[in-house]
Amino acid sequence: MRKEFKVGVLVSGRGSNLQALIDKVHNKTFKHVNSQRVKISVVVVISDREKAYALERARKAGIEALWMNPKIFETREDYDLAVAEKLKKRKVDLVVLAGYMRIVSPAFLKEFPDAVINIHPALLPAFPGLHGQRQAIEYGVRVSGCTVHFVDEGVDTGPPIIQVPVQVKNGDDEDSLARRILKREHQALPKAVKLIATGRVKKMGRKVIVLESALKEKLRDVATSLWI
Whole-angstrom Cα distance, residue 132 to residue 154? 16
Q: Determine which one of 26, 32, 120, 149 is catalytic.
A: 120
Residue 192 belongs to what H/E stretch?
A: helix 174-197
73 burial via Cβ count (<10 Å: 0-12, 13-18, 19+): middle
Torsion of CA 109, 131, 136, 54, to 10 degrees: 70
The verdict on whether 186 is a catalytic residue reads no
Whole-angstrom Cα distance, residue 224 to residue 216? 12
* 118, 149 contact by CB (below 8 A): yes
Q: Which long-range contacts (CB under 8 A, 24 or more apart) does 119-122 make?
A: 119/17, 119/146, 119/147, 119/148, 119/185, 119/188, 119/189, 120/146, 120/147, 120/148, 120/149, 120/156, 121/146, 121/178, 121/181, 121/182, 121/185, 122/146, 122/147, 122/156
What one-letter code names the amino acid at 216?
K
| Active-site amino acid positions | 120
